[in-house]
Amino acid sequence: MASASPSLDARSEALKDSFPLLIPAVPFGFVLGVTISESVVPDGIGVLTSWTIFAGAAQLAFLTLAGTASLGAAIAAALVINARHVMYSAAIAPVFEPQPRWFRWLAPSVLIDQVFALAMQRADADPTWFRRYYLWVGAQFFLVWQTVTLLGLFFGSVIPEEIQIGFAPAVMFAGLVILGITNRPGVVAAFVGAVVCLATLSLPNRVGLLIGAACGVVAGSIAEALQQRRVLAEAER
């Protein structure tokens, strides 16, 4: 992995590894741009979400909810969706121990799902090499994201009404739910989240979304605890 010209290597490895993960980001960013053009949030501020929040699902939730729910509900939903980043931060922290201070401050701003996944695979690399690799991966995702957001915004304003492009975020989220489920407790969490949200839909300010999410998290946690207990009990037998 580390060769005679580590800097070149880190860059080309970063480009090569990111490519398959960048492809799905393109339609996602495009849907986001279209959503910005449809949202009650002014276009410029919608585009700003790609710079400040830089997390597709949270941005999409914020923009779609800002129209129908209260601003508070939109903010709460975006923050809850982004809470998973605490887990990434915890998992990747040891890798940053040999890194300089400026990099520890800069790196988290691009710590999205894909960057986390790629960086963790290089956790044992030489620190200088790792830094270059991480920055190239992060910069690429950031650049592509900004570009496709703008493209979506531009094309979104010329898409005719009859097409009902407003359904695209729901498709995107439904896909993300299933991609994010890695075990049985994950199925339980999603199911409980959806059912509780449906039951509490008439409550004001979309508070049902947060109640559903909270119940889903508790249900998923309980399901995982039960699963582990069963595994332990079987091991003892």
Partner 1 sequence: MSTSTALIAVIGVGLATYAMRAGLILALADTELPTWLLRALRYVAPSVLAALVVTLVADPDAANRGVSLAEVVGLLVTAGVVIKTRNLAVTLAVGMAAFWAVLALG
Assess 58 for contact with partner 1 (CB under 8 A).
yes
Determine which residue in the list 42, 121, 143, 226 makes contact with partner 1, applying CB under 8 A: 42
Give the CA diameter of the chain. Answer: 65
Tell me, by CB under 8 A, how many residues bind partner 1. Answer: 99
Assess 92 for contact with partner 1 (CB under 8 A).
yes
Site residues (CB under 8 A) for partner 1, limited to 193-212: 193-194, 196-198, 201-202, 206, 208-209, 212
Assess 109 for contact with partner 1 (CB under 8 A).
yes
Q: How far is the CB of 12 from partner 1 (least distance, A)?
A: 24
- 112: tokens are 């999205």
Site residues (CB under 8 A) for partner 1, limited to 143-162: none
- 68: tokens are 């129908």
Half-sphere exposure of 20 (CA within 13 A, CB side): 4
Q: Which of 106, 123, 136, 129 is nearest to 11 (CA)?
A: 136
Binding mask 175-194 for partner 1 (x = CB under 8 A): xxxxxxx---xxx-xxxxxx
Place of tokens 């300010």: 205
Q: Which stretch binds partner 1 (CB under 8 A): 10-18, 119-127, 174-182, 229-237?
A: 174-182
Place of tokens 């910005």: 36
Q: How far is the CB of 180 from partner 1 (least distance, A)?
A: 4
Residue type for 41, please?
V
Residue type for 8, please?
L
Give 98: exposed, middle or buried? Use CB within 10 Å, 0-12, 13-18, 19+. exposed
Q: How far is the CB of 5 from partner 1 (least distance, A)?
A: 29
Q: How far is the CB of 206 from partner 1 (least distance, A)?
A: 6
